Amino acid sequence: EADIYQTPRYLVIGTGKKITLECSQTMGHDKMYWYQQDPGMELHLIHYSYGVNSTEKGDLSSESTVSRIRTEHFPLTLESARPSHTSQYLCASRVTGYNSPLHFGNGTRLTVT
Amino acid sequence: KNEVEQSPQNLTAQEGEFITINCSYSVGISALHWLQQHPGGGIVSLFMLSSGKKKHGRLIATINIQEKHSSLHITASHPRDSAVYICAVLPTQGGSEKLVFGKGTKLTVNP
């Protein structure tokens, strides 16, 4: 069983608020990812990290930022939430290695009103 | 056009039936993933393939690199198999972390 946790599970917030979505894993994985998924649509990579102090933007343009100060923790921050940010956000991790599988958290479903 | 196409989009089966879900892609890849997403949203990795065939319980995944095609088979399907099955590929170009995902196949298995 994968040990990767996301909080909150659901979040409803007003426009303009700053929010941080939490993601933690206890497996010691060096690689971590944030994906965004709209209902019925494919996942899109918004940020990833190779390890501590290493972060990169993904393919999907995002107004969010991430940090990786500790191996186990990869929070995602929206400085000013907008209705267009309404989506599901999924965190994942894996060890470095050609054949290592992804482990996903249960996701955060964000609604910005 | 998405680089990863899955078919069918939706699939309804009776318990016990043999299920096949297909995935075609248009780029060179180093690996292909099959994922399962339950209604709550959580995703589980089922298989990662770079060639040939893998089996885990009632699930079988195959890949044909030359034809750029993979299939996921479920034998003796059960209502608990109801989920969205997602195919994702790791292109050989464009960075080693950027998986490209299909839109998923929604499977419903009726008792």
pLDDT per residue as tens digits for the range A33-60? 999 999 888 899 999 999 999 999 987 7
A107 vs B2, B42, B99: nearest CB: B42
Q: SS3 string of chain A?
A: CCCEEEECCEEEECCCCCEEEEEEECCCCCEEEEEEECCCCCEEEEEEEEECCEEEECCCCCCEEECCCECCECCEEECCCCHHHCEEEEEEEECCCCCCCCEECCCEEEEEC
Confidence check: pLDDT of A67 > 60:
yes
Q: Chain B: nearest CA to A59, how far in angstroms?
A: 8
Confidence check: pLDDT of B80 > 80:
yes
* Contact yes or no for B43 and A109 at CB 8 A: no
Mutating which of B29, B36, B97 best tests the A interface, going by the most A Cβ atoms within 10 A?
Answer: B97
Give the pLDDT confidence score for residue B17 in this predicted structure: 97
The answer to whether the beta carbons of residues B17 and B75 sit under 8 Å apart is no
Q: Within 10 Å of residue A31's Cβ, how many Cβ atoms?
A: 20
Per-residue pLDDT tens over the stretch B30-74:
899 999 998 877 899 999 999 999 999 999 999 999 999 999 999
Of residues B97 and A63, which shows the higher confidence score? A63
The answer to whether the beta carbons of residues B14 and A71 sit under 8 Å apart is no
Do the bridges between strand B10-14 and strand A10-13 make them parallel or antiparallel, or are there none, so unpaired? unpaired
d(C-alpha A98, C-alpha B45), whole Å: 15
Give the pLDDT confidence score for residue B107 in this predicted structure: 97
Q: Chain B: nearest CA to A89, how far in angstroms?
A: 10
Q: Which amino acid is at B71?
A: S
Q: Is the peptide bond before B8 cis (omega within 30 degrees of 0)?
A: yes
Question: Which residues from B are below 8 Å from A40, CB to CB?
Answer: 103-104
For CA atoms A53, A59, A65, A70, the dihedral sign is negative
Q: Give the A:B interface size as CB pairs under 8 Å.
A: 58
Confidence check: pLDDT of A23 > 80:
yes
B99 vs A41, A45, A106: nearest CB: A45
Per-residue pLDDT tens over the stretch A81-112:
999 999 999 999 998 876 788 899 999 999 99
Question: Which residues from A are below 8 Å from B41, CB to CB?
Answer: 88, 90, 106-107, 109
